Amino acid sequence: MTDTIHASLTGENLRELKAACYGEVAGILNGLAPRETVRIPDSYEWLSLVIPRAFTAALFGEKNNPFAGRNDDNDKGIRAIWEFDKGVAVLALDRFPGLIVPKAVEARRYLWDLIAPYYEAELWRGEDVSAIIRNRAEKVTREGVPWTVLARTEINIPWAAVTNTVPDLFWLMVHVFSRPSSALERFRAEVAELTTFSVDKDKDGRRTATIDAEQLEKKPYVSAVYWETHRLYNENLGNRRVMRDTVLRDPDADNGGREYRLEKGVNVQWATGAAHRDEGLWGPDADEWRPERWLETSSLEKKKIMAMKARIFPFGGGRNLCPGRAFAISEALGLVAVLAAGFDLEGVRVPDKVTAARMGAAMRRPEWGPEKDASSMGIRRRVGYEDVVWGFKF
């Protein structure tokens, strides 16, 4: 199954998944009317619904997506994902979950029932279904696993796709748009360098803007914004099994530093957040969001940047990295890029407090203060871009 997952999230399979997800996101934003400001009461909840809508359509296929249009509340399945997310650690431990997290148990059961018809009818064989859904189903079906088991295990895929991506996107969005004269201006300038315009005769002569999504991470400031956000808000808990007796030494072990003997069979954990926000590694402003620290200005600074990248490991480390990292990075930057290029967000602010990541997740979550409308924002098309239809190139 590990080989199946990696093959499904690389090469052409990855490109197709990106294209499908970006297409869904662009479709949502292109549906916003010109010269109208849409008021969003809770910016985090908005992302918590918009992103899973796009993700589930890209994963399961738009035609038979079980999370769309199957009940009176089209977002009931998506909301069930987030209720499941709240109690996933207790569910995994399986110690009286019905007493401790009854809503999560109910949400899990709802998700099982929601996707069961999809797997019973083998709709995962559809042409618009992602490789990750199709290949996993083909693999376990070939091994003799019945669809009833598939319906229970595969709720992990939409959950894993959104549990860290939504808070990641949120922190990117609020930090960029809450600094319109600095971060937003620089971010927009680099996105503009990757955007081409054309007139689409099939769309009543409206302009089509295409962002070269594959190049976003290569832009210095765009990349700096992404990695600085992960440095500050990612606190993934890493786990490894020691395969043979090993001794780790501090760099200054010969001058009073320490050595650590790790014996075969021992489990080792590390707290990513502790390293990501360590003042000894990042300086006295380690708790500040300052993407400029990642920008190269000289050969000496370039070496410093490479050393900094060795101190940040939000997707794991060594040979064992998150197989979905390329998709996660691309998707996050793509949404913020199209928002920056074509839209204005009004009233965006960084939350007063930050909560720790839930067990089983990696990204910290926002916590709003008591101020009324603290989490609200407005979104409208930028002046001069009212007629633009947005899209992406891979």
Contact 177, 289 (CB under 8 A): no
Q: Which residues neighbour 54 within 8 Å (Cβ) at sequence distance 6 or greater? A: 21, 24, 25, 28
How far is 334 from 323, CA to CA, in rounded Å?
Answer: 19
Mean pLDDT calculated for residue range 260-285: 89
How many angstroms separate the CA atoms of 67 and 113, rounded? 11
Spatial distance between the Cα atoms of 307 and 312, rounded to a whole number of angstroms: 9
Contacting residues for 151 by C-beta, under 8 A, at least 6 apart: 112, 115, 116, 118, 119, 120
Q: What is the pLDDT of residues 89-134, one digit of tens each?
A: 899 899 899 999 999 999 999 999 999 999 999 999 999 999 999 9
DSSP annotation string for 142-209: HTT--HHHHHHHTTHHHHHHHTTHHHHHHHHHHHHHT-IIIIIHHHHHHHHTTEEEEEEGGGTTEEEE
Using pLDDT thresholds of 50, 70 and 90, give the confidence band for residue 188. Answer: very high
| Helix 11-30, helix 325-342: angle, nearest 10 | 30
Q: For the domain covering 2-236+313-393, report its CATH number.
A: 1.10.630.10
Lowest mean pLDDT among 77-91, 112-126, 177-191, 268-282: 268-282
Rg (CA), the chain: 22
For the chain, what percent of residues have pLDDT higher than 90? 58
pLDDT of residue 297: 57
Q: Report residue 278's pLDDT band, with 50, 70 and 90 as the boundaries.
A: confident
Q: Structural domain boundaries of the chain?
A: 2-236+313-393, 237-306
pLDDT at res. 43: 94
For 119, the token pair is: 């797997």
Asked whether the predicted pLDDT for residue 70 surpasses 80, the reply is no
pTM score, whole prediction: 0.89
Torsion (CA) 246, 251, 252, 256 in degrees, nearest 10: -30
In this predicted structure, the answer to whether residue 252 has a pLDDT above a threshold of 80 is no
Q: Is 260 helix (H, G, I), strand (E, B) or coil?
A: strand
Q: Is 381 exposed, middle or buried (0-12, 13-18, 19+ CB in 10 A)?
A: buried
- pLDDT tens-place string over residues 210-231: 999 889 989 999 999 999 998 9
Structure tokens at 336: 């913020």
Q: What is the length of the chain?
A: 394
Q: Are 107 and 83 in contact (CB under 8 A)?
A: yes
Per residue in 44-57, pLDDT (tens digit) is: 999 999 999 999 99
* C-alpha–C-alpha distance, residues 133 and 136, integer Å: 6
Q: Report the DSSP pairing between strands 237-241 and 267-271.
A: antiparallel
Angle made by CA atoms 280, 285, 289, in degrees to the nearest 5: 125
Q: Which of 326, 329, 328, 334 is nearest to 212 (CA)?
A: 334
